[in-house]
Structure 1
């Protein structure tokens, strides 16, 4: 699933990977732990969110109109971003993942304060930041 999440060429596979990872991580703590302990899982989910925000910004900007002629900027749905954020929240609840989340704290903060991000996505990312900050 993480390999599909990394594949930026196939949006459908990426979104299906997010759906499955989010469902597994939220469904059982053992699954969340298994996903969290994968080397690049947290970074890949953050990359999905960052790519989604970049596509949304591209679509909103005037440069995006010019860019669309060459390659379309297709942002994912807000629901997909929420799923990715909820997957991160489930992974943040795994104690062993705290060190990985600490490495990506600035990325989480950037996403949470981005004007292009949905307020519910931002709220979930703030919960992730809260979880990893507590002792």
Structure 2
């Protein structure tokens, strides 16, 4: 079972999105625990996102996040991509994570995140 807090849902729309995701999971007989965290991710180009915490299969989480974007016409951050880097940086938790940003289900850009004091912060942004 994987777990992470690196997916994001457009700020102010997380409650509606989580309700839809949970209904989707039940309807499609998928198992995933997902909840909103108190952490946020703020970007210059794409706005602010509430980070969500999940436990389950990454593919189920990824699919649910992408689907909620298209079904509810909201922006989401789909994380989980890693740059190949220095093994020493990875050992000390200094690695980067690459995220795709979707708006209404369509790819609109990329974020590069870094860990700072245990939280993800935006290092780079690129519109798609």
TM-score tier, shorter chain, comes to under 0.3
Please report the TM-score for the alignment, with normalisation by the length of structure 2. Answer: 0.27
Please report the TM-score for the alignment, with normalisation by the length of structure 1. Answer: 0.26
Report which of the two has the higher share of helix: 1
